[in-house]
């Protein structure tokens, strides 16, 4: 692997890692300011407010101004975001930090992949593997590192913030020296496209990714009531990495069958970790999180992506953008609603209510894809 490719892979890892670095302290920052779970959930979801507009409106930026410049900009956003939490660790600063983190991730997502693809034009599978692994490790390990540091020394500015801040600065220094790639004149704004049948895959991934927000923000608050420590880091690591482990299996399945299996496992996982949260059973919570991860980041994610690419035809890039727009809306909006309703009605009643919606929606999805498979057989 060439040195520029290694540097870009490190940049992708650090930017995605930094995006979840503060999650174990969300509720602490909110409590110190006199707020509840609702504000923590909004802070978490503000990330989407930075990420989605960046993905949609600046998707072609690296083609026009150069990929190296966009990679440096994304590192700079992540660096500033981390420094703000070091300088002023409050819930108010966290809102600004989350927007900057969203912009940084939005910039690196497509640009980093495009840079690596240019370096390895004959090996797209290898590029996909690098990007998938680095982003998965990044998103799943940020909160975990902070949890580990907090277990050693409790602080509003854990040493993990400083570690990542220094590493990002070092990566900026390395990225300055990578070669720039040729620019391509393309439209800067590329709006997503939503074919009628692709909307079902969009709903599936929105429901799936909503569970990641619940696992990171809502569940730890409930577990603390039983005297259990904040397990947001380990739970986020489990939900992402179990999905990654099962991706090779999902890749070999027919997309609609993968989506159906994902819907079934999603409901089972949710039921288990909600029951565990209600009874104070950490082992049941972790088992449910693992099953949910297999569904969310394994079968539903890959099945849905393969489905929208197939339906998109020569517009696959725009349809894929629509798919990820649904994913990130699911990642952010339900958590806000659950956070505020939890403050009013309690965490468990709210999770049970959302579980009913999740169950009905996934039964509908399983039925829809079964119908589409039947129609396909009739047409054949």
378: CB partners within 8 A, 6+ apart: none
Is it the case that residue 102 has pLDDT exceeding 90? yes
| More confident of the two residues 94 and 225 | 94
Average pLDDT, the chain: 86
Rg of the chain taking only CA atoms, in angstroms: 20
Structural class in CATH, domain 1-181:
mainly alpha
Report CA torsion sign: 96, 41, 54, 242: positive
Mutual orientation of helices 198-213 and 37-57 as an angle, nearest 10°? 140
Give me the mean pLDDT over the 105-111 stretch: 84
CA-wise closest residue to 78 among 54, 42, 113: 54
| More confident of the two residues 1 and 226 | 226
Q: With beta carbons less than 8 A apart as the criterion, state whether 311 and 195 touch.
A: yes
Q: With beta carbons less than 8 A apart as the criterion, state whether 260 and 345 touch.
A: no
258: CB partners within 8 A, 6+ apart: 250, 299, 300, 302, 303, 306
Classified by CATH at the fold level, domain 191-380 comes out as Growth Hormone; Chain: A; (1.20.1250)
Give me the mean pLDDT over the 120-147 stretch: 79
Global pTM reads 0.84
Mark residue 281 as left, alpha or beta (left: phi above 0; alpha: psi -120 to 50; beta: remaining).
Answer: beta
Give the model confidence (pLDDT) of 169-187 as tens digits. Answer: 999 999 999 888 777 666 6
Return the structure tokens found at 140: 């799943």
Q: Please indicate whether the domains covering 1-181 and 191-380 agree at the CATH topology level.
A: yes
Q: With beta carbons less than 8 A apart as the criterion, state whether 145 and 160 touch.
A: yes
The pLDDT score that the predictor gives to residue 150 is: 92
Give me the mean pLDDT over the 9-34 stretch: 92
Return the structure tokens found at 151: 């277990």
Give the model confidence (pLDDT) of 336-376 as tens digits. Answer: 899 889 888 999 999 999 999 999 999 999 998 888 776 66
Secondary-structure percent of the chain, ordered helix, strand, coil, rounded to 5:
85, 0, 15
Domain ranges of the chain: 1-181, 191-380
The pLDDT score that the predictor gives to residue 139 is: 87
- The model's confidence at residue 290, banded by pLDDT at 50, 70 and 90, is very high
Give the model confidence (pLDDT) of 315-333 as tens digits. Answer: 655 677 788 888 888 988 8
CA-wise closest residue to 27 among 262, 285, 347: 347
The pLDDT score that the predictor gives to residue 66 is: 82
121: CB partners within 8 A, 6+ apart: none
């Amino acid at each position: 692997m060439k040195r520029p490719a290694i540097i870009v892979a490190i940049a992708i890892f650090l930017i995605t890692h930094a995006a979840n670095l503060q999650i174990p302290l969300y509720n602490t920052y909110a409590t110190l300011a006199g707020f509840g779970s609702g504000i923590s959930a909004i802070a978490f979801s503000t990330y989407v407010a930075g990420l989605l507009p960046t993905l949609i409106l600046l998707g072609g930026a690296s083609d026009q101004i150069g990929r190296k410049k966009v990679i440096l900009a994304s590192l700079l956003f992540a660096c500033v975001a981390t420094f703000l939490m070091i300088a002023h660790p409050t819930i108010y600063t966290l809102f600004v930090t989350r927007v900057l983190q969203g912009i940084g991730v939005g910039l690196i997502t497509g640009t980093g992949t495009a840079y690596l693809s240019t370096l390895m034009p004959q090996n797209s599978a290898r590029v996909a593997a690098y990007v998938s692994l680095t982003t998965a490790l990044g998103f799943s390990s940020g909160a975990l590192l902070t949890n580990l540091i907090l277990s050693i020394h409790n602080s509003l500015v854990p040493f993990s913030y400083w570690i990542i801040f220094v590493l990002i600065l070092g990566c900026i220094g390395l990225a300055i020296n990578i070669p720039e790639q040729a620019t391509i004149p393309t439209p800067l704004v590329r709006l997503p496209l939503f074919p009628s049948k692709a909307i079902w895959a969009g709903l599936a991934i929105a429901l799936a990714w909503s569970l990641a927000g619940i696992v990171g923000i809502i569940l730890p608050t409930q577990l603390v009531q039983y005297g259990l420590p904040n397990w947001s880091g380990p739970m986020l690591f489990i939900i992402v990495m179990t999905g990654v482990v099962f991706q090779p299996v999902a890749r070999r399945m027919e997309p609609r069958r993968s989506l159906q299996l994902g819907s079934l496992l999603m409901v089972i996982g949710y039921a288990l970790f909600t029951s565990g949260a209600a009874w104070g059973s950490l082992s049941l919570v972790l088992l449910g999180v693992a099953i949910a991860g297999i569904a969310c980041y394994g079968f539903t994610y890959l099945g849905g992506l393969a489905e929208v690419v197939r339906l998109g035809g020569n517009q696959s890039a725009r349809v894929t953008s629509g798919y990820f727009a649904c994913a990130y809306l699911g990642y952010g909006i339900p958590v806000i609603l659950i956070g505020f309703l939890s403050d009013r009605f309690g965490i468990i009643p709210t999770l049970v209510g959302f579980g009913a919606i999740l169950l009905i929606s996934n039964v509908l999805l399983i039925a829809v894809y079964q119908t589409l498979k039947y129609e396909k057989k009739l047409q054949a």
